Amino acid sequence: MTNKTLFEPYNLGSLTLSNRIAMAPLTRNRAGAGFVPGDLAAEYYGQRASAGLLISEATQISQQGQGYQDTPGIYSQAQIDGWRKVTTAVHAKGGRIFLQLWHVGRVSHIDLQENGSAPVAPSAIRAAAKTFVNNGFIDVSEPRALELGELAGIVNDFQQAAANAIAAGFDGVEIHGANGYLLDQFAKDSANVRTDAYGGSVENRARLMLEVTAAVVAEIGAGRTGIRISPVSPANGVSSSDPQAQFDHIVDQLNALGIVYIHVVEGATGGPRDVAPFDFGSLRRRFKNTYIANNGYDLKLATSRLAEDKADLFAFGRPFIANPDLVERLEAGAPLAQVNPATIYGGGEVGYTDYPAIAASRS
């Protein structure tokens, strides 16, 4: 047991965070024309800058990487400029923010793809999933399998997106390797039945995720690179026949690359923590830098896991939507406001920037 608290400063590589609470990525579908984050996004993230670390909503690295309407990108100059307003607002309040880099793979729809083309995937296996398109949730489209010669382009897109994120003022990036999106699709054999160097064995299925990470490290440095993984989450219809072996190997290799953190979804994303047998302690022991724990954490659980040294930082998701001052509320033992589910995805300021801080709600 330790005497650490959630509300003490923490050194994340060369960055000093004000506390051990991270804001998890939260898709809000409010990007403007050209998939550019606007002034409301700057206000939204600035309101939440008291989190030790803000991790942005998932942000596509290319048009091909988009899977939902009105999600922001990081592949055009206008997008870089839009995100710079966000990072400026966060830094003005003393916050730290990483951008989550995203390629959805097969979790997309032809209406979002260039010229109505099929989404891409490791194998031509349709996901048992829905996506948010044309203001509603509909089934994803049938994907096509990526050709071997296309994979270097995917790696390059992640690398360029990381450079663009730093140009936009982010403190670092988080590679999205979780929740049934492209890199997770390659890692899990329910979605990947390839017979080339990117399919079959544990090592081959990990290859694309690790090549992307190595490229991002080469571009911006290991100290500014994190990754999110979800070893047993069935999100977007993926599963692995050997998750322990698969993710022990992945984390060993991530540790060798020296990245600053792994952000681990423990259990089913947004669901039960005990969805499948898995030793998350094995990942904790294998990885020598920061371990961010995610999924179903509240103040009590995070405090107990910190005391047991099970993680270094703890990510909170939906509570940050309705509580821009979540850190202050948790520290004061104050009640939490509840999220309006009707305003999570899409829209304007309602349900986005109009949730009051506790001081305002008491006045």
List the catalytic residues: 181
> Are 87 and 72 within 8 A, CB to CB?
no
Which pair of tokens denotes residue 89?
Answer: 């607002």
> Are 69 and 29 within 8 A, CB to CB?
yes
> Are 27 and 71 within 8 A, CB to CB?
yes
Backbone angles phi, psi at 65, to 5 degrees: -80, 0
> Parallel, antiparallel, or unpaired: how do β-strands 130-133 and 136-139 relate?
antiparallel
Nearest-angstrom CA–CA distance, 51 and 18: 7
* Residue 17: burial class (beta carbons within 10 Å; 0-12, 13-18, 19+): buried
3-class DSSP state for residue 137? Answer: strand
Nearest-angstrom CA–CA distance, 21 and 306: 11
